[in-house]
Amino acid sequence: MQAGEYEVLGGCKRCGAVIMTTGSTLIRRICDECRRKNRVRANQNLAARRKQVRQRDKQVAAQAVLLCASCERPITEAERIKRTWDGPKLVRRYCSDACRQRAYRDRGQIRRY
């Protein structure tokens, strides 16, 4: 067989469509449409798995009682989740704007050069 010549090898191993190819007759090939369907199915499965992880992280975070980093009172409105190596954590660290500002001032006094 010369360069540029193609040989028909039966068809796709999934749908049976006739495909033109060069190569070994022992290897059953998949047509482009079946490859596309496989890729779409794999992406859907991956998206479903990621959604399950996000839902589980939300449930874990909802069960945890968060305390203010400044005054150690419980935070009730904490909703946003931040992914960390230690597991899901809520982004809100302070119970009020006053506690956040107090912590910022305290941190500034410690780091003064």
Where the chain has pLDDT below 70, the residues are 1-10, 22-26, 61, 64, 77-81, 87-91, 109-113
**pLDDT at residue 73, as a whole number:** 83
- Taking alpha carbons only, the member of 41, 3, 40, 35 closest to residue 22 is 3
The structure tokens listed for 45 are: 């499965």
Tell the residue number behind the tokens 């912590």, with chain if given: 103
Tell the residue number behind the tokens 């006739």, with chain if given: 18
**pLDDT at residue 2, as a whole number:** 58
**pLDDT at residue 41, as a whole number:** 96
Helix (H) or strand (E) holding 83: strand 81-84
48 CB-contact burial (10 Å; exposed 0-12 / middle 13-18 / buried 19+): exposed
